[in-house]
Amino acid sequence: MDCTGHNSPPGNHTALVEFILIGFSDVPHIHGFLFGVFLIIYVFILTGNSLIIIITKVDSSLHSPMYFFLRNFSFLEICFVSVTVPRLLTDLCRQYGNISFPACAIQMYFFLILGDTECFILTAMAYDRYVAICNPLLYPVIMNDTVCIQLALVCWTTAIPVHIGFISVVFTSTFCGCNHLNHFFCDAPPVVQLICGDAFMVEVLLYGLAALITSIPSFLILRSYMKIVSAILKLPSAIGRAKAFSTCCSHLMVVTLFFGSAIIVYLRSMTNHLTGMDKFLSLFYTIFIPMLNPIIYCLRNKDVMVALEKFLQKSIVL
């Protein structure tokens, strides 16, 4: 069904009061299976990221800027998936996905804020690795507690005023005609596609913000890692080079997965209506990547694994 509102001819339409999330309605016979899979993934994300938060807080050997930002990142991932997954699970149970305008606006607002915050925290983590490897002697001075807290506050608050304005623009526009969103949550591209008449300026605002918020962190991360690689290659010891690379590898994997899938989704939605592939890519960066993050950061980090083992041993004893 073509539900692209701004492609509909203008006329006397009834104003919409809710959207219908199509989600996975084309495969109703596997809703039970999908519910089980997403529920297991959600519980794993909550448990895995909560463990990272706890062990980086209680283990004194992990009281460093790197793990401070990892703790922020893990908390962010819990918030990020909680914006979409509980709603998705509810819709899979009740077999339909109607959502009111206010609920849709709130979901989109927090999804966009937390998505942008993830970009910023990944950038802060790259800067931390840059200082640690390129300026190791000054690292404790540059990345002191005050600086870390200030960086974290900037990451968490920067997107808040930006998206208040964007959400206001989107939801003060007129929606009419078809109210079906070809998605499993209120993401910005499919909602903008349902605006009546000429939505060109709203689309320009959407993709301008998306380009700005992804390109600046991407550039800063790339610049940091170019300097990191240059510094690592100058190290005289092969063991030292391997250790330095290993501390950056987990972060690079997460950056590549998150930015790659998110950019592909938004670039595709600029020229195409959302398809099954777009929903799969959205699932990838909204659910599957947060599931992979605890695995990536734990299995590839010996310090975290040792701290986790000690924590679990103490928990079992208690």
pLDDT given at position 4: 45
> Mind listing the domains of the chain with CATH numbers?
17-317 (1.20.1070.10)
- In this structure, are residues 84 and 184 in contact, taking their beta carbons and an 8 Å threshold? yes
pLDDT in tens, 17-59: 788 888 888 787 888 899 999 999 999 999 999 989 998 898 8
In the prediction, which pLDDT does 237 show? 74
Q: How far lies 48's CA from each of 109, 126, 221, 293, in Å?
A: 26, 22, 25, 9
Cα distance between residue 74 and residue 224, in whole Å? 22
Q: What is the DSSP letter of 21?
A: E
DSSP code of residue 13:
P
pLDDT digits (tens, 9 = 90+) for 210-222: 888 888 998 999 9
Query: What percentage of the chain reaches a pLDDT higher than 90?
Result: 35
Between 65-94 and 289-299, two packed helices, what is the crossing angle to 10 degrees?
150
**pLDDT grade, residue 76 (50/70/90)?**
very high
Helix segments in the chain, DSSP class H: 31-58, 65-94, 101-134, 139-142, 145-157, 159-171, 188-192, 200-233, 238-271, 276-283, 289-299, 302-317
Spatial separation of the C-alpha atoms in residues 65 and 47, rounded to whole Å: 23
User: Quick one: tokens of 230?
Assistant: 């240059």
**Has residue 13 got a pLDDT over 60?**
no
Cα–Cα distance for residue pair 20/23, rounded to 1 Å: 9
* Backbone phi, psi, residue 212, to 5°: -65, -45
Q: Determine the Cα–Cα distance for residues 224 and 125; give it in Å rounded to an integer.
A: 10
Determine which of 6-10, 19-23, 289-293 has the lowest per-residue pLDDT on average: 6-10
Residues 6+ apart with CB under 8 A from 266: 189, 207, 210, 214
Question: What pLDDT is stored for residue 300 in this prediction?
Answer: 66
Task: Report the alpha-carbon distance of residue 274 to residue 276 in Å, rounded.
Answer: 7
Q: What angle do CA 92, 97, 103 make, to 5 degrees?
A: 120
The pTM for the full model equals 0.87
